[in-house]
Amino acid sequence: MLLSAADSLLLIVDIQARLLPVMKDGDRVVGNTVRLLQAAGALAVPVLLTEQYPEGLGATVPAVRAAAGEAPALAKKDFSGYADPVIRARIADCGRPQVVIAGIEAHVCVLQTALQLAAAHYRVAVVADAVSSRHADSVAVAGRRMAAAGITLATTEMCLFEWLGTAAHPEFRAISRLIK
């Protein structure tokens, strides 16, 4: 599956204040998520954020929240964002057949959300260098499970250049600068 900005929704899963400090490579996840959000803004890709039990785990971290602009942060208690009826409706309202996911934790909320979205016939891509868990083996096993279920694994650069589609795109220079 090739990603398309016109077909994509960017879903940021649970990059929250009390979760992030215990994640492996948390700074990398935040940096790549910010790049994805900046590109989404430039390319008119709609964005949704989820927050797992924000009363206990805190809000989305400031760098991600700032890069997300006016995108809503939707609270949830289910591990899968797609299990929550409000989030499911917001995803449907975007009218995009592709859902690109970044966030934490890869083996819990990201995995369950991705699997349920795929089961609902969305074309799902998980940005492998913008997801994490406490342990590297959890990330690796989650990636294998998602791939086996037909979910596309991509990198931030893959996503950005697929969203652009061509070096002739008017936003090419701006998006290229995000990865330098």
Tens of pLDDT, residue by residue over 46-94, are: 999 999 999 999 999 999 999 999 999 999 999 999 999 999 999 999 9
CA dist., res. 23 & res. 39, Å (int): 24
Residue with tokens 């991705």: 114
3-state SS assignment for residue 152: strand
Does the reported pTM lie above 0.95? yes
Are 36 and 129 a contacting pair, CB within 8 Å? no
pLDDT of residue 11: 98
Amino acid identity of residue 105, one-letter, is E
Catalytic residues: 14, 76, 109
Residue with tokens 């215990």: 22
